[in-house]
Amino acid sequence: MIATSVIVSLIVMVYASWQDYVSREVSNKVWLIYAPIALILTLTQLLLFEQSLLSWYALSVGVTFGIALLLFYTGGFGGADSKALMCIALALPFAPLALFTPLIESAISPQSQIIYPMTIFGNGVLFAAASGIYMIIRNIVWHKRRRTPMFAGSLRYQSVGKKNFSPHYRLQNGHLQD
């Protein structure tokens, strides 16, 4: 059952990512199909094999839903991100330790085992931050190879703070212009 939840989640997330990449939007139909399937798979597993975990399931789903909604309504998340996290909570409320053996078993906290969607969220935040670092390095290398200035126009002569935080500059042909 856990393997099925992981596979279904992976398929849905790959499709949602592709749809987001192509159209910058993920249809609500994706989440309307995924959520009931995730709920049925998890509840079936819990009711048949681990009824004692039902209250922990409710806690994991409740905490994750609360954080996803908070992030959505405060502007930290888009709608699809929030719905994806809520659906993951329905499908994978606990760390799938039966499928994946961690490198350091003692390094897994009880909170990450019980509220596993928050671990997924935390890893997503780390990957997003790493992608920003990658983009900065890629842009620097690109400009160095082509021997073009990183900033064009009058921005070239401004301080670093003005280059980074000034809202009246816009991007044209890959360069900031004023």
Cα–Cα distance measured from residue 67 to residue 49, given in angstroms and rounded to the nearest whole number:
28
| pLDDT the model gives residue 139 | 86
Residue type, 121: F
The domain spans of the chain are 2-110
Residue 178, pLDDT score: 47
* pLDDT for the residue 173: 52
Structure tokens at 80: 């699809």
pLDDT tens per residue, the chain (178 residues)? 788 888 999 999 999 999 999 998 999 999 999 999 999 999 999 898 888 888 888 999 999 999 999 999 998 888 888 999 999 999 988 877 666 666 666 666 666 677 888 888 888 888 888 888 888 898 889 888 988 877 766 666 666 666 555 555 455 555 555 4
Model pLDDT, residue 106: 64
Q: Exposed, middle or buried, 122 (CB in 10 Å: 0-12/13-18/19+)? A: exposed
